[in-house]
Structure 1
Amino acid sequence: MDKEYIELFKLIEEVSSKQEAQKMRGLNDYNMVNVVRKASHEVGMHSNVIYSLINPNGLHYQNDLFLNLFIEEVLNIRLNDFGRILEVNVEEQTNKNRRIDFTIKSENYFIGIEMKVNAGDLRNQISHYDEYLLEEADTQKVLMYYLTKDGKDAPLRSKGSVFIEKISFQEHILNWLDICQNEVKNITNLNVALEDYKNIVKKITDKYRGNVVSIEEELIKSKKYLKTVLLIDSKIETIKGRTLYSFFEELSEVLKNESLKYSIDKIKDITTDLNDEGRKVSLNKCINLYKKARNKPKFFGKIFDCSFNNNLYFSVELHVGYLYYGLIKLDDFNLIALTDDDRKLFKGISSVKDTRYVKKVTNTLLNDNILFFEKSDLQDEIMKFIHQIKESQNRMLHSPKEKLTI
């Protein structure tokens, strides 16, 4: 093996060990807020959190501390100029039944803030908000702010001729949260809450790095390792395909050998005897499965003769990216539908269409059941399944009314 590959694999092992050590010491990327809502959820996440902070009557019990910092750091208005606060609202309804994300009203200003994380703008959305606030205001100055991940401008069809102040999560909101955190650094629960929300903002702005060291960051630090990774990436489709094909080859060998251990008649791989070429596994099909192509193979695998009654056979097949095992019925090596009597036999396995009983296993190669099949739980599970089918069918010969339970 080339020296570059050896060094790369050594680095990955070292980083993986470091990750486990950090986790053992308590470092993690758990975020309670993110568990409740997706990071990109505008109303459920960002509207609620920001309003909970700028609301002077919020449960943070800091009065107008966070609001004042928001006015200065995000809106960029001096507190003395802003004047006495009259209202702070979230989702304020307009006279056309639209809702402004945030409004902050004072003696001197009526502020409207429209927030966009991923959603698009409606026609005349901002121009209508501006018009509404102008009608509501007496002598106050009306300003419209447009809050996005990176401070982009609002589309013309939304803002019309209205001037907007562009603000961003990645700069203004993160800076504001940092300052808020510094002000309440001795209040543990507020610090934790602010830190959690900061991490969510970093996620939507692609600035989040996590607390646990990542393999990606370590690799990017070194051009030498990065070159090797990119070289491997260019061959990854073939590597994945060969790995999957090796699993199917190992499957045949293991089932043949393990049949003796479970006192089962010799299990025979009959895949090559099938009349349907599309169902037969091949190296090319396994590789093409991972290529970015339209006509990917959707259904292939291995079929085994386990000496079951009623023309039933054991199958392990890949269907639209998922690996399944189960039972199918063949007549002269052609797939046929299960009969009503067949369907009465089986319980505990999900049925797919009318031609097979199957159990879903996995949709990833990163699975010990695939990579190390011979010593895996899946191997034991499959052999027990085959053994139970045999035993139950034998019992049914003597007691026809008995149902097969798996």
Structure 2
Amino acid sequence: MSDIKEICDFLKKYRQVKNKKLEEVCHLLKKFKKQKEEMKLRGFNDFNYIELLKGFDDENTHSKIIAEFLNPDGSHYQGKIFLENFFRTLDIPFNIDNWNVITERFVRNCVDKGQGRIDIYMTNGKKHIILENKIGAGDQEAQIFKYVECLYKENEDSLKPEDIFVLYLTKNKSFPSKYSLDNYEIKNGYLENNGEIKAKIKCISYDEIFKWMQENLKEVENITNLSEAIKQYIKVVKKILGEEENIMNLKDYLLKEEHREVLITLIENKNEFEKYVKNDEECQKIIEEEKLGEVLAKIIDEINYKVLDKLKNIPDLNIIIEKNENSKYIDKLCIENKKNNKLICPEWPYNFVSKYAFKELALEVLKNGENNIIEKIIKLVTIEQ
């Protein structure tokens, strides 16, 4: 009987502690909302028509905007001036004349790697530029490999390596993964297949897009609607780079060091928290307005990508991130030992099928730091020397 009472007392105390933590989450959300409203009253705002369409980090939207500016026949009616600025900014050694720009160019089974879609494809009939845009999406299988090989096949092998320029656009100038490169390797700015040079490649970041847009703005300062459109896009690019934010957002607020414990509680107990506040109308409204589920998913991805970027710099490790084309977030992580080609897709301690992918990985980082989880991952994959 005493054992049952002890268990009941323990569960009661546990519930009290848990409820106190959940109440702290609710209190913090209300505090955030109050500070945000105070900023609005002082005149701050985040209005941007581009974000109203799809969100500031939607890759398809960015590809369409970039392509429209690159297109000499685009609706800007400025001819090739933006294209010329682009070539100059990125030091692309091609003639500026007679370029066609295509978005979402499909590549269909021309090599034994399935079909794909080039985000932005440019050609003047002799030279070819492939721009692969990766804001948050992971690499698809053999993407870079099949895009380049298909160009050779379509042109009946008449192309030379210097005729193809691959631009790999990411937030932080990351390299494509082995999963995307397949048989290719990157050496001295070129894609090679078993020692044979296939194309030139340049990894670029949205910082180059920002610089390019600044140059474009100088060209059209007296054209009101066009200059305003460029200014709006520059703001979106700065937000991708983490440099633009007028009104405080919930993601950055939760990621503050002083809110770490509350964030851990929220990630661990999101569903339970939503049930706990079902009678708190104010807190429920904040959850809906701020899209708490999406915010947590972005936080988890952001934390994980920082770890994965560090793992990429470890010799003999190749990090492969997979994403479903219909998903914004990580679906699967694999780690390859390049010395023996051993490919491991760990299932523990990471929850790959959770709605919030890699929740355990992010929690480990929040609780114990990046270095701790990196050591655990290396032990997990058991890299053979």
Identity percentage of aligned residues: 26
TM-score (norm 2): 0.50
Structure showing greater Rg = 1
Pairing 1:109–2:109 present? no
CA offsets, 1:299-350, max 9 Å, x none? xxxxxxxxxxxxxxxxxxx9614342xxxxxxxxxxxxxxxxxxxxxxxxxx
Aligned counterparts of 1:54 and 1:165: Cα–Cα separation in 2: 19
1:147·1:167 contact (CA, 8 Å) conserved in 2? yes
Question: For residue 382 of structure 1, what is the aligned residue in structure 2?
Answer: none
Tell me how far apart the structure 1 counterparts of residues 266 and 56 of structure 2 sit (CA, whole Å): 29
Q: Does 1:56 align with 2:92?
A: no
Matching of residue 89 in structure 1 with residue 102 in structure 2: yes
1:34 paired with 2:51, answer: yes
Structure 2 CA distance for partners of 1:290 and 1:91, relative to 1, 3 Å: closer
Match of 2:169 in 1: 147
Root mean square deviation of aligned Cα? 3.8
Distance change >3 Å, CA 94–CA 320, structure 1 → 2: same
Give the distance between the partners of 1:21 and 1:362, measured in 2 at CA.
19
- Runs of 4+ deviating beyond 6 Å: 15-18
Number of equivalences: 228
Q: C-alpha separation between the residues in 1 aligned to 2:166 and 2:37?
A: 51
**CA positional deviation for 1:98:** 1.8
**Structure 2 equivalent of residue 274 of structure 1:** none
What is the CA distance between 1:184 and its match in structure 2?
A: 0.7
TM-score by length of 1: 0.48
What letter matches 1:320 in structure 2?
A: K
Deviation of the 1:173 alpha carbon? 0.6
Other-structure match for 1:315: none
Cα distance, 1:120–1:295 mapped onto 2, change above 3 Å: closer
Match of 2:184 in 1: 161
User: For the residues of structure 1 that align with 2:137 and 2:124, how far apart are their CA atoms?
Assistant: 29
Tell me how far apart the structure 1 counterparts of residues 66 and 235 of structure 2 sit (CA, whole Å): 14
**Residue segments in structure 1 that go unaligned for 5+ positions in a row:** 1-11, 218-225, 238-288, 299-317, 325-359, 368-406
Distance 1:321 1:61, change over 3 A: farther
Identify if the C-alpha distance between structure 1 residues 84 and 134 changes in structure 2 by more than 3 Å, giving closer, same or farther.
Answer: farther
State how far apart, in whole Å, the 2-side matches of 1:64 and 1:295 are.
54
Higher relative contact order (CA 8 A, sep 6+): 2
State how 1:221-300 maps to structure 2 within 5 Å. 230=258, 291=265, 298=272
Secondary structure at the counterpart of residue 90 of structure 1: strand
In 2: Cα distance, 1:17 partner to 1:116 partner: 34
User: Does structure 1 retain, via aligned residues, the 8 Å contact 2:80–2:96?
Assistant: no
Alignment check: 8 A CA contact 1:152 1:166 kept: no
Question: Given the alignment, which residue of 235, 238, 244 partners 1:202?
Answer: 238
Which structure 2 segments of 5+ residues have no match? 1-31, 110-114, 186-190, 192-199, 288-385
AA of the residue aligned to 1:132: C
